[in-house]
Amino acid sequence: MATPAEVLQVLGKLGVKGVSRVRCKVVDGRDRDKILTRNVVGPVRKGDIILLKETEMDSEGRLQKR
């Protein structure tokens, strides 16, 4: 079941395939108010609601410098 999360900040772009790294806050569910860093495919901006498949893991790696 998907868990809704609100995008707090767009941290940057990863590569050329439209992947963005975002910081988001879980709105509902077991991990409510938890702040996570996620990789998101497609257009996204601050204030958007995204659906997370799982809320246990954070994304890792480096941001691309432009």
How confident is the model at residue 43, as a pLDDT? 93
Average pLDDT over residues 25-44: 92
* CATH (one of 2.40.50.140, 3.60.21.10, 3.10.270.10, 3.40.50.1400) for 3-52: 2.40.50.140
Asked whether the beta carbons of 10 and 20 are under 8 A apart, the reply is: yes
Q: How far is CA 33 from CA 13, 26, 39, 42, in A?
A: 25, 5, 19, 24
Domains in the chain: boundaries: 3-52
Kindly report, residue by residue over 1-28, the tens digit of the pLDDT: 899 999 999 999 888 888 999 999 999 9
Residue 9 to residue 30: CA distance in whole angstroms: 22
